Amino acid sequence: MPAIEALYQQLCDHARETGVLSSIESLLGWDERCLLPAAAAEYRADQMTVLSGIIHARQTEPRLGDWLAELAASPLAADPASLSGATIRQLKRQYDKKIKLPQTLVEELTRTSVMGQQAWQTARAGNNFAELAPLLEKTIALKRQQADATGYAQCRYDALLDDYEPGELTSHVAGVLADLRNELVPLAAEIRESGRSPDRTLLRRRYPVDVQEAFGRRVAAAIGFDFRRGRLDVTAHPFCTAPGPHDCRITTRYEENYFSGALFGTLHEAGHGIYDQGLPAEHFGLPPGEAVSMGIHESQSRLWENLVGRSRSFWEHFYPAAQQAFPEALGDVALDDFYFAINDVRPSPIRIESDEATYNLHILIRFELEQALLEGDLSVADLPAAWNEKYRTYLGVKPASDSEGVLQDIHWSAGLFGYFPTYSLGNLYASQLFAQADLDLGGLATQFAHGQFEPLRAWLATKIHHQGQRYSAAEIVQCVTGAPLSHRALMGHLRGKLGSLYKI
């Protein structure tokens, strides 16, 4: 083997072993959130700290920098979309980012994040924003330092966004989200003024938990989540994680008196899981075996949850089974009433309770506010008022309190700046990809109505999942749909579905 090939092999072995340790970290996290006895939380934190210390040390080893410099200049990196090219490029990107952050800043960010999350709990419970404010100011100052240390193309926010949506630019996202806002705010108003609304109470009837679980498993398996290579468990705040190439774990939570929470939650997490299960197992732990971005990951969950799971054709197939499973709750409910209920649009002050359409306005508000905070255009003291003003303008609602307003999300307290827009990017990508799949596969609705979901899953696997990180999110969308990211597909989808439901 030529020396450069041997060096590349050495790099891959090193990264793969780091990946093994990261996968153990995933399992510790999963276990903590699903099973861990409460009294064991403190020692679990010790386990996470020791392990992440070992991982960080491996990821910032100076010899790794030497290897990457040599390999980046070699013919193995010439084609950026080749296996070796993508691997070297992405590992170098991660390495360069990591070594630019001073150890003291990393530690300060971690400590402030832990303290911020604790302070958030108390502030939210006591409806006391002032209690959180000093830590939030500190967090913002640290995030500025982080952005300055890693560097950015146009603005500080770019540096933070890049952690979740590699290569994406704030100005670009802002443009697309502004287009979306300009059409979404009027749509929401039209719906409000339509005078129509479904009977949502039918989703709040009695749905026995064990039947919900069996039904959820059946639906998740039907859309392509492979239970031989995964699990479904119960947790308080549902998530998906893959602590191994053939070990994808999705989670949900059940309420006896609510149908939508568990079912659409399961579809959402199964969408994430189907992506993880579609990544090339042989490259697990290396860039070609990992998800390309948070936005693309979210697109997969939103696609199965909303574009598929809230479509009429999906329920043409599954509704008879649902009625059989829940005869008490759904026996007397017509499909159209059920379909309208699961697509109810109703502005709410709470993001996680919002619907497919207005959800994006919640994200927009956060995206605009966090940029202003970071750039110093908005002070922490003025944040609650700014929050409420945006909710009035975009959604026409007024939070009853800061707890139901600016304090509702943990993200900022945990230092997650730049994360929110990936939720809306997910919705945008999902609609754009779905519209293309519909064209390519010749009418998905008919397939869904016949219970055929495999063509769509296989299409996504080929176009997205199998690619790992060989292309950027923007490249994938351009390549697969022939167009750059835009608000049009999402608006087309929402206008189409909601237009006929609300007769607007």
- Judged by CB under 8 A, does residue 20 bind a copy of itself? yes
Region from 26-34, 158-166, 201-209, 315-323 binding a copy of itself, contact rule CB under 8 A:
26-34
- Judged by CB under 8 A, does residue 33 bind a copy of itself? no
- Beta strand 248-252 with 240-241 is antiparallel
- Judged by CB under 8 A, does residue 234 bind a copy of itself? no
Beta bridge partners of 233: 251
Among 5, 9, 13, 17, binds a copy of itself (CB under 8 A): 17
Q: Please say which residue, 149 or 234, places its beta carbon nearer to a copy of itself.
A: 234
Among 230, 309, 349, 399, binds a copy of itself (CB under 8 A): 230
Distances in Å between the Cα of 309 and the Cα atoms of 260, 275, 503 are: 11, 16, 21
Q: Smallest distance, Å, CB 40 to a copy of itself?
A: 4
- Judged by CB under 8 A, does residue 44 bind a copy of itself? yes
Q: Smallest distance, Å, CB 161 to a copy of itself?
A: 32
Q: Please say which residue, 16 or 93, places its beta carbon nearer to a copy of itself.
A: 16
Among 29, 31, 260, 348, binds a copy of itself (CB under 8 A): 31
Site for a copy of itself, residues 125 to 154, rule: CB under 8 A: none
Region from 61-69, 72-80, 194-202, 229-237 binding a copy of itself, contact rule CB under 8 A:
229-237
Q: Smallest distance, Å, CB 326 to a copy of itself?
A: 22
Beta bridge partners of 250: 232, 240
Whose CA is closest to 25, among 63, 58, 1? 58
Whose CA is closest to 479, among 468, 461, 464, 465? 464
Contact predicate 458/68, CB 8 Å: no
Quote the CA–CA distance of 250 and 242 in Å, as a whole number.
Answer: 9
Handedness of CA 228, 229, 232, 235 (dihedral sign): positive
CB atoms within 10 A of CB 352: 10
Region from 21-29, 104-112, 206-214, 478-486 binding a copy of itself, contact rule CB under 8 A:
21-29
CB atoms within 10 A of CB 38: 6
Q: Smallest distance, Å, CB 486 to a copy of itself?
A: 39
Among 246, 392, 398, 450, binds a copy of itself (CB under 8 A): 246
Site for a copy of itself, residues 266 to 285, rule: CB under 8 A: 284
- Judged by CB under 8 A, does residue 43 bind a copy of itself? yes
Quote the CA–CA distance of 234 and 206 in Å, as a whole number.
Answer: 19
Among 39, 104, 210, 331, binds a copy of itself (CB under 8 A): 39
Contact predicate 296/473, CB 8 Å: yes
C-alpha torsion angle, residues 493, 494, 499, 500 (rounded to 10): 60
Q: Please say which residue, 233 or 377, places its beta carbon nearer to a copy of itself.
A: 233
How many whole angstroms from its chain centre is CA 465? Answer: 15
Among 10, 14, 33, 47, binds a copy of itself (CB under 8 A): 47
Region from 245-253, 254-262, 403-411, 468-476 binding a copy of itself, contact rule CB under 8 A:
245-253
Task: Identify whether 368 is a catalytic site residue.
Answer: no
Among 51, 101, 149, 458, binds a copy of itself (CB under 8 A): 51
Q: Smallest distance, Å, CB 61 to a copy of itself?
A: 15
Q: Please say which residue, 19 or 166, places its beta carbon nearer to a copy of itself.
A: 19
- Judged by CB under 8 A, does residue 23 bind a copy of itself? yes
Among 13, 57, 182, 227, binds a copy of itself (CB under 8 A): 227
Q: Please say which residue, 93 or 229, places its beta carbon nearer to a copy of itself.
A: 229
Contact predicate 339/331, CB 8 Å: no
Q: Smallest distance, Å, CB 225 to a copy of itself?
A: 12
- Choice among 25, 165, 183, 269 that is catalytic: 269
Region from 35-43, 104-112, 341-349, 391-399 binding a copy of itself, contact rule CB under 8 A:
35-43
The three-state DSSP-derived secondary structure of 326-378 is: CHHHHCCCCHHHHHHHCCCCCCCCCHHHCCCCCHHHHHHHHHHHHHHHHHCCC
Q: Smallest distance, Å, CB 88 to a copy of itself?
A: 23
Quote the CA–CA distance of 181 and 363 in Å, as a whole number.
Answer: 10
Q: Residue 183: in which H helix or E strand, if any?
A: helix 170-193
- Judged by CB under 8 A, does residue 229 bind a copy of itself? yes
Residues 6+ away with beta carbon under 8 Å from 452: none
Distances in Å between the Cα of 51 and the Cα atoms of 27, 46, 346 are: 12, 9, 45
Contact predicate 364/177, CB 8 Å: yes
Q: Smallest distance, Å, CB 421 to a copy of itself?
A: 33
Buried b (16+ CB within 10 A) or exposed e, 115-139: ebeebbeebbeeeebebbbebbebb
Give me the active site residues, please: 269
Q: Name the residues that contact a copy of itself, by CB under 8 A.
A: 17, 20-21, 23-24, 27-28, 31, 35-40, 42-44, 46-47, 50-51, 54, 227-231, 244-247, 284
